[in-house]
Amino acid sequence: MAPQLVIDTLTLHFGGVTALSGVYQEVNPGDILAVIGPNGAGKTSLLNCISGLYRPSAGRIVFEDREITNLPPHRRAQLGIGRTFQNIELFKHMTVLENLMLGRHIHMSQGLVSGGFYWGRARREEEVHRRRVEEIIDFLEIESIRHKAVGTLAYGLQKRVELGRALALEPRLLLLDEPMAGMNLEEKEDMARFILDVAEEWGTTLILIEHDMGVVMDISDQVAVLDFGRKIAEGTPEEVQKNPLVVKAYLGKQ
Amino acid sequence: MTFFMQILISGLVVGAVYALVAFGFVLIYKSSDVINFAQGEFLLVGAYIALSLVVFYQVPFPAAVALTLSMCVILGVVVERLVLRPFIGERVISVIMATIGLSLLMRGIIQMVWGTETRTFPGIFPDMPVRLGDVVVSQIYLWSLAVAVVLLVVFTVFFKYSSTGIVMRAAADDQVAALSMGISVKRIIAITWAIAAVVAAIGGILLGNINGVNPSLAYIGLMVLPVVILGGLDSVPGAVVGGFIIGILESLAGGYLDPLIGGGVKEVAPFAVLLLVLMVRPYGLFGKEIIERV
């Protein structure tokens, strides 16, 4: 099986600081890859390089046999790379429904002029998107809040809405930056179930950053471990757990 | 009473133009956090281009307006691309200096091309004043008011319901999120500048038809500051309401206070409001109250 995403010896400098150093990783279609590592290991930097917010200093990123290293972030979204953020980035003044509809942006065909107002074709198209969005709302069990402004929602729900908006894009690769951070146990279990369902039912490839090792071991197919910008281990959850380098990175020298 | 009504109406007309110019200013601020000190020069350029087309090239007025606005779309996009884009990510003060520099540059070019004397549009609107009860109003006033109000309504509807408008609001709300939705934020900012240049130009054409055009009209670029401070820097409805309030206030001050103390109040009143608002309610009538937790 050809990998869907190849991160080819990626290096990223900020001034004198090296955030990533020669990171190589392949991700197979439909896999859930967890990226773990201590704080400041470069996990979010890696995600930002994939989604295009950062340009790597060296190395290449190839998505579905196409080099995307120098594409701007909105072009990568159009290619089917969706993401969520560590510090929720929702359109806070808009409703849940509006946020999800904006997730459909890349699928909306009307241009600037014909898309100006909801007439004729644009209106019919809108209905198609609306149906798709309602499916996601059902899937994430957020029916009751669909007309609420997202700024007013509880943190856990905002995380869920952000996942929904990323799903509305129908990404083939979905990047989740700490989807469960700050959640209680029940919310974490819900989120884990959603993530597994996305991978299983939609065949979406997922890369997620997560600190909760229990969750990581439960849901991921592959784990990559970063430490000080270098990849120090990869493998199945069981393999990584036993790797002495990983233990050392997390617990310090024994 | 008649005197009051006359003053009120001229205040409304001036206020409508302020609202248009401030509208563009707020759009730019919301979408890209740029304080555009060249908004008054956009107004001037629009007025002068339309005037030249009508006077020198004998283009019929409606066609001249259409042509002017198309040119202003290009101007807005080019200015954003050449002047503002290199400043993305720079400090606020650098961006402010850039737009001040831009305003001086544009004003210089305008004076080179069109000189400094006042030029007037040939009578485009009928001279016959209209009687509204006791009040006599020239038709150009009513036209200006109508045009401005219609435009403001159209743009409000556009932002609320059109897909482009919604995408623009989203990009203003959270650029990073907009990018991750596949929205080209650069394109949105370019559209913003085009709209800002167009509404300012319309304001300029309206004012030009009332008072004639000369480079001092660019003072409206400064008048926008009390308007947006009063309305709230990041509020589009605030720009509209603030525009009308400042216009009427200025007109009232000019009508009632200036004769008493020999003039000058009209010019000062808006800025007195600016200071007052900054002291009492710095985020303005409709602006977002930013609470900093320390």
* Model confidence pLDDT, tens digit, residues A149-171: 999 999 999 999 999 999 999 99
Residue A172 is classified by DSSP as S
A135 and A193 part of one domain: no
Is A86 inside a domain boundary?
A: no
Q: Are the beta carbons of B180 and A82 separated by less than 8 Å?
A: yes
The residue in chain A having the minimum alpha-carbon distance to the alpha carbon of residue B157 is A117
Distance CA B161, CA A189 (A): 37
Best of B168, B181, B236, B288 to substitute, by most chain A Cβ atoms within 10 angstroms, is B181
Q: What are phi and psi of B62, to 5 degrees?
A: -60, -40
| Residues A181 and A67 grouped into a single domain | yes
- Contact list, A72 vs chain B (CB under 8 Å): 179, 184, 186
Taking the model in full, what pTM does it have? 0.87
Number of Cβ within a 10 Å radius of residue B138: 18
Mark yes or no for CB contact B163/A83 under 8 Å: no
Cα torsion at A130, A133, A138, A144 (round to 10°)? -70
- B163:A91 CB<8 A: no
Whole-angstrom distance, CA of residue B44 vs CA of residue B50: 10
User: Chain A within 8 Å of B90 (Cβ-Cβ)?
Assistant: no
What is the reported pLDDT for A127? 83
Residue A113 has pLDDT above 60, yes or no: no
Q: Are residues A100 and A204 in the same domain?
A: no
Q: Do B180 and A115 touch (CB under 8 A)?
A: no
Q: Is the pLDDT score of A110 beyond 70? A: no
Range of the domain at A65: 1-80+171-254
Strand-pair category, A17-27 with A205-209: unpaired
- What CA dihedral angle connects A76, B34, B17 and B276, to 10 degrees? 140
By C-alpha distance, the chain A residue nearest B183 is: A74
| List of chain B residues whose C-beta atoms are within 8 Å of the C-beta of residue A91 | 169-170, 173-174, 177
First-to-last C-alpha distance (Å) of chain B = 53
| Cβ separation B184–A110 shorter than 8 A | no
Instruction: Tell me the C-alpha distance between A48 and B180, whole Å.
Output: 10
Q: Does B182 reach chain A within 8 Å, measured CB to CB?
A: yes
Q: Are residues A75 and A197 in the same domain?
A: yes
> Distance between CA atoms of B39 and B18, rounded to whole angstroms?
11
pLDDT of the residue at A112: 43
Q: At which of A122, A140, A170 does a domain end?
A: A170
Q: What single-letter amino acid sits at B73?
A: V
Q: Could you say which of A78, A90, A112 has the minimum Cβ distance to residue B164?
A: A112
Quick one: angle between helices B139-161 and B163-173, nearest 10?
A: 70
* Residue A31 confidence (pLDDT): 94
Query: What stretches of A73-221 adopt beta strand conformation (E)?
Result: 81-83, 173-177, 205-209
Of A122, A147, A170, the residue that ends a domain is: A170
| Residue A110 belongs to some domain of the structure | yes
Contacts of B131-136 spanning 24+ positions with Cβ under 8 A: B132/B5, B133/B5, B134/B1, B134/B2, B134/B5, B135/B2, B135/B5, B135/B6, B135/B9, B136/B6
Element of type H or E holding A7: strand A5-14
Domains, chain B, with CATH or none:
2-122+140-280 (1.10.3470)
Instruction: Say yes or no for a CB contact (<8 Å) between A102 and B166.
Output: yes
Q: Give the chain A residue nearest B170 (alpha carbons).
A: A91
Please count the structural domains in chain A: 2
Whether residues A115 and B161 touch (CB distance < 8 A) is answered with no
**pLDDT at residue A140 is higher than 60:** yes
A180 shares a domain with A123: no
- Structural contact between residues B23 and B199, judged by C-beta atoms closer than 8 angstroms: yes
Which among B161, B167, B179 has the least Cβ separation from residue A73?
Answer: B179
Distance of CA A75 to the CA centre of its chain: 16
Distance CA B103, CA B55 (A): 25
Over chain B (294 residues), the average pLDDT of each successive run of 10 is: 88 93 92 90 96 93 95 96 88 91 94 92 82 83 91 88 86 91 92 95 93 89 92 90 95 90 88 92 82 56
Contact A219, A202 (CB under 8 A): no
What percentage of chain A exceeds 70 in pLDDT? Answer: 93
Q: What is the pLDDT of residue A177?
A: 95
The verdict on A68 and A193 lying in the same domain is yes
For B120, other C-beta atoms within 10 Å of its C-beta total 13
